[in-house]
Amino acid sequence: MKKINFLCILAILAVSCFAISFSSQADELDDLIGNPEKSYYFVFATGAIQGSFGTMETCVYCHGNGGKGTAEGRKRGVPDFSDPKWQSSVTDEEMIKFLEANDKGCTQCRGRISEGAIKKLVNIVRAFASK
């Protein structure tokens, strides 16, 4: 019984430490994500699916949580993914080629995410049109 209590306390402490660590990082990212609501894009783009990338190596750094772009992203000329005009001006194939080639922008993706992950990103970007 003492072992079970000890393991429960240990598990609670581990979860608490993780939560505290994550909340301090979230405070630093407030300007980057723009929207405190965590969308699927936020999880994907912050590296939860991609792997452990640094803040500046994720989509959210420039594109923000809602795809509208952050202050840093606007300096770099990122498009507003929620803009219907932009959505209609780019095909899925063009987005895939852009992410695969990465001759301008999104350079941290080059060779680091799979073809399947790129297709998921395109679907996520398309979903911003409805917001």
Q: What string of H, E and C letters represents the secondary structure of 47-69?
A: CCCCCCCCHHHCHHHHHCCCCCC
User: Residue 21: inside a domain, yes or no?
Assistant: no
Task: Per residue of the chain (131 residues), give pLDDT as tens.
Answer: 677 766 667 667 665 555 555 444 444 444 334 443 444 455 455 554 444 445 455 777 788 878 888 888 888 889 999 999 999 999 999 998 888 876 666 765 666 677 888 888 888 888 888 76
Residues 6+ apart with CB under 8 A from 107: none
CA pair distance 32, 38, nearest whole angstrom: 12
Nearest to 108 by CA among 65, 76, 66: 76
pTM of the model: 0.56
Q: Which domain holds residue 66?
A: 30-130
- Cα torsion 72, 55, 107, 92: sign: negative
User: Residue 10: inside a domain, yes or no?
Assistant: no
Distance from the Cα of residue 6 to its chain's centroid: 37
CA pair distance 42, 127, nearest whole angstrom: 13
User: Residue 111: inside a domain, yes or no?
Assistant: yes
User: Residue 110: inside a domain, yes or no?
Assistant: yes
User: Residue 78: inside a domain, yes or no?
Assistant: yes
User: Residue 95: inside a domain, yes or no?
Assistant: yes
Number of domains present in the structure of the chain: 1
